[in-house]
Structure formats: C-alpha cells, structure tokens
Amino acid sequence: MIANKIQVQSKEDGALLLECSWQLCQSPPATGKSWQSIDILFEGLSSLDSAIGGLDENIVLVDHEQPKRVLAPAALGSAKAFKFLLQCLGAANKPPGRRCLVKLIIPQQQGQIVRADVIPLRMRDSQYVEETVSFAEPLQSYNPVSIAALRNNLEAIFSAATAGLMLRSNAEDLGNAIEALSLAVESELENRLALDWISSEPVRRRTLVLVEGSRAHPENGGTGPGIYLAAAALGIDMVVLDNQGHWLEGPKYAHWRKAFIPIRLTDPPEADFAKRIVESVKSYGAPVDGIVTFCDSYVVQVAQAAQELGLQMGPPDALRVATDKYLTSVFAGHQAYRASSPEEAFDIASKNQLPYPLIIKPCTGWSSEGVFRVDSIDNLVTAARSIDTSRHGSEFVIEKYCEGPEVDANFVLLDGELLFFEACDDFPKTADSNGLHSGSLNTFVELSSVYPSALPSREIDVLRDGFLETLLKLGLRNGVMHLEGRVEYSSVTYRTQDGVLDLHANEAGPGGPEPVAWLIEINPRPLGMTGSHIIESTYGIDYWGLAMLIAAGDEARARSLSRPFKHGAQYTCVMVFIPADYPSSCQGIFDSDDICAELRARRPDLAKQISRCACLVKRGQKVPHPSSGVNSFLAYFNVFSRAGRTEALKLADEVRQEVRFSFL
C-alpha cells in the first residue's frame, strides 16, 4: 500500500488547515456483481482547530507520481464528491492521528442509475456505516471502469464512484480491524444492493401531475419532503395542482416542482372538480405521463379526470368503494349499516338487535378519528354525537367489533402482480377491551406498531391472499395500497409476559375455527409518511417513490425498487406514538420544547436505538384531547433492535416512559 499526502488549505490566505495521509487498501473483488468497491484509509497528520467541510477550502494533493496540485470540485467528478472528501479528511483529524476508512462504490455495469439516492436509501441504519453520500445525479449514466486503470489516482477513483461510505469504528486506531470492517460492509452491500440499481434499459424523465400538494408546510412536519425529494431523485418532474397561496407556489420551494397550477380544492370536493382538473392539466400545455393524488377526498375525481385525459389510474367506481368505509365493509361481506344521526343509529341497533360490542366510524374518516368501540345502546348514541362532522361528514358505519389482532398490510401492485407485501402488528389501541393500557383515552388512538409482524406465517398468508383477492376483485391492480384489518379467530392474542406485552398463543389451544382476514379499511395510497419511513429503513423500500413511478407508468424502475433486502427486514422496529393524554383540568396548551431532541440529549443510549423521530407540536400550541376523536399525537419514535423483538419492545416501552412533556 502506497501512502500519499493530502492537505486542506484556506482559500483566503493559503493557511494549512489539516494534513492527512491516504492509501488504497486491498478491496474485495467484484465477481458477479454490478459494482466494485474501493477502500481508502485516511489518517490525520496535523490539524488546526478549524471547521472544514464546505467548498471554501483548497484540497492539495502531494503524491509520489505527479506534481503537487490543487483540486477543483470538477476534478473529483462533482461538488458532492468534493464535499464528501472534505468530510472524510475532517473525520480523520478528530483528533489528529485518527484513522478513517472509506468505501467508494464504482458501477461495473453500463446503464443509468434508477434513483440518484438509491445507495443512501438502502444503507440507512447500517451498523457499520457512519454516513453514506450519493454523488449521482438523477438518471446519470455509467460505463464500466477498469479498477486496475484507476491505480493510485484519487481524482479518477472519486470521478468513477457513484457513492461514498464513511465506515464506523469505535477504535481510534483501526489497526488489524480494517479488513474485517471492510468485509462486513461488503456483506452488507451485497444484502442491501440486491436489486437492479443500474438500469441497462434507457430511462427517461417523467412528468407527473399531483393533485393536492401536501397541506402541511415542510417546517410543520408535512409530507412534502418525502414526496418531492423522492421525485427529484427519481427524475420525475412534478406539476402540482392546489389552492392559490399554497406554500409550493412561492419561490422558496419552487425547485421542488416544475409547475404550480392554482385550482380550487374543497373538502368534500365540488361537483365539477373532475372537469376542472382536466382543464388545469390541459392548460399546462405539455405532455404528462400520469396523474396521482395522495388525498383520499379527491381520489375518485382524479380518477375520473385521468379517464378523460387518457392516463392510467384505478377505476373511479372501485376507488369510490375503497374510500367509503361503509361501501368497503359491504364489499368485504360484513353486516354493516350506514347512519347519519344518533337517532338513526339508535333505530338501526334496536330494530336489528345488533350484538355488542360494535364499532362506529365515519364513512370518510382518517387516522382513527371518530372511531369508537361501543358496548351498549347508550354508548352508541354518545359516540355518534362525538364524531366531528365538520371534519368527516355526517355519515358513519355501524358494524361488529372484531377482537382479533390488528394489522397493517401494505401491497405494491403492478398490473395485478404483487411486487412487495409486508404486514406489521398494530398493538392494542386505547379502546380495545382487554384493559392492557391505562389512561383516560377511550377512542382508537394508535400506541405502537411493530415491524415485521409476529403473527404465525399461515395467518400472514391468510391476510395477504384474502386482502389481495379483495383488491383485485374490486379492480385495484396498480399502486401502493395500505390496508388495515384484523385476524378473526387468530391462534394468538396479546398478553403481558415477563413485563412485556406481545403476541402469545391462545391459552385455549388449537381446535377452534380457521383464521379469517377481517378487512377494516382500504387506503389506495401509501400509509402516512412516518409509517412509510419505517418501511424504508426496515426493508429498503420507499412507498412514496414507488407510488409515483407506478402512476407515471415507469414499470421497469418500479419493479427494481420494489425489491427488499436480500435477507429481509434488517431489524425489528417499533413505531412509538405519544398521544396527548393530559388531565381534563388542563387547557390543552403544550408547554414543552422539542420532546424528541430533549430525550435524545438526555438518553444517548436510547438515541442509538432510534432510527427516526419527530415532535409534531410546538410550545404554546393548543392540542385537542384524544377523547374528542381528533388525532392528537405529540411525537413519534421509530425504535429498533437487532437483537430481537423482545428487546425492541422493551426499548420502546423505555422510550415511552422517558418522554417528558407538560401542558397548561
């Protein structure tokens, strides 16, 4: 191995900021792979106490083969590669003498990258990687590069690479662990990059119309970044239709969309909404590849507009059934009733002698708002009066309460073919009858979801096959579908054992009825952004990106990016929801700062087990009590464990107990 020197100097006065040595290590062969990695070891030699990492420094190479020279960002192929090199040099000098091992990924297949950030996306939460940076531009083309021809040329190596990985090491001096760490990461890469991430077929930019561009501002936790950053990485130009004055219309986020077309959006939509969508798309004046909405309220009208525009989308009648919980229940074969007042609900329950417990829920509700379990006729009337009709309309469903374990089941469909499926366990909610959770909550507020599901494999098969049959029978053959349901007559139930609540075999034992998939609702879109994030890190699948690719008719890339890690879920992950359960004597004014940041700072040991988290409210904000039927989460934490489900559940409980907040 040949060691060379590299310096970082101030552009302002030429002062030396730091100096490192760098040398190539023996990298694993690329046999049978579409990529090759090259390992570079940086070692700090000297450093001033100065921050580096931007583009305001000079990188000076001092090697054995060429004269001393200053590198411009273009010499490394891109500004992103230049900045990554600065990060690596800085890491090797904290403190000076520390070693930093870096792995660069060099494509060995001719074609275009299917998604610019595919490698960081797939490497999230790798236990061996500190940071992953993509150097690629959307749809960038690559040709095979002879690794031998790169030799000891740092510029050529970085220019050929599509991404860089800064490896994690606890030791200040890697010593003899360099080869072991490199091989561990190589194994991780083979698992995580088990997809066709370089397309041998030509890939072109697509244009997608999005109706309703995300109501919440990105600074307030909206879905915008998940949608528009994914679209940018995929090379999809977004034409957004939304109300005048929407945050995307202004200059700050103009780079997230190709065009913004004002259109009047109301909830529920007005009678001529589909016609106005058609007019707006035609006014754009250029071809588009597809149209989509992620707002359930508009999906039927958008589908009607798609038909008139000759664009692919699900049948309007099928989507009308999927977005109306009464029609969904009837289609699934449930004995369901529709009412629009407490008095009508009373009459239905009395005349039909409905057995309790029952569920009532708005026909067009969301996020479990207005969903109540009722155990008597008095509870039924009270619950019906509690539905916020200004948010969800006056119509609601009455049907039986299924006591089986609840699940979320997500499907990626392309022309009726199942490309990807996964299921998670929705732990007992606040209104479930078994009294497993204490508190003043009495509605179906989410508490925890665990990925992947621990249901017996035959019950997961029953869910997958039963729900897939329903989707196809309904006519929903394309897109990302988020279904919620339960397993009736499940062989497992929730029970606390050794202080941990989890699924365990029924004490009654085998011999009962066969398990049945009980459908609660169909959402013809990805699950919420927080839920999609947990799928992204657990399996390497981005539902929002896939939904846009399928809507834009890009079948080849949808197939490629629907492939999970070769070895399945990388860990058990628990989404911990923090509901606003405050005493009724409070005004409901949130009186804390960012509760996620506070916990991570106070408990760095727990922070290491948190993939993502977010505080959803701000100090001084009025927060509705969950008993009002309004979704009122304070925060969420995605807590993971590689040791197994039990440890993940214990960590999740500890995170919930450690959260600190107050109300006025």
- 410 φψ region: left (φ > 0), alpha (ψ -120 to 50), beta (else): beta
Please check whether residue 77 is in contact with residue 5, taking contact to mean a CB–CB distance below 8 angstroms. no
**Which of 82, 84, 88 minimizes the C-alpha distance to 155?**
82
Which portions of the chain are predicted below pLDDT 50? 1, 433-441
Distance, in Å, from the CA atom of 552 to the CA atom of 113, rounded to the nearest integer, reads 18
Predicted TM-score (pTM) of this structure: 0.94
Please check whether residue 568 is in contact with residue 642, taking contact to mean a CB–CB distance below 8 angstroms. no
Distance, in Å, from the CA atom of 314 to the CA atom of 306, rounded to the nearest integer, reads 9
Residue 663's pLDDT is: 94
pLDDT in tens, 546-575: 999 999 999 999 999 999 999 999 999 999
Tell me the residue ranges of DSSP E strands in 349-478.
358-362, 372-374, 396-400, 406-414, 417-426, 448-451
pLDDT in tens, 167-210: 987 655 566 688 889 999 999 999 999 999 999 999 999 999 99
Phi and psi at 264, nearest 5°, equal: -80, 115
Residue 33's pLDDT is: 83
Residue 441's pLDDT is: 34
Distance, in Å, from the CA atom of 191 to the CA atom of 178, rounded to the nearest integer, reads 20
Label residue 287 exposed, middle or buried (CB < 10 Å: 0-12, 13-18, 19+).
exposed
Residue 170's pLDDT is: 61
Residue 99's pLDDT is: 86
Residue 642's pLDDT is: 97
Residue 657's pLDDT is: 95
Please check whether residue 459 is in contact with residue 407, taking contact to mean a CB–CB distance below 8 angstroms. no
Cα–Cα–Cα angle for 403, 390, 377, rounded to 5 degrees: 40
CA 623, chain centre distance (Å): 25
Structure tokens at 42: 């940086």
Residue 437's pLDDT is: 38
Structure tokens at 21: 């040595």
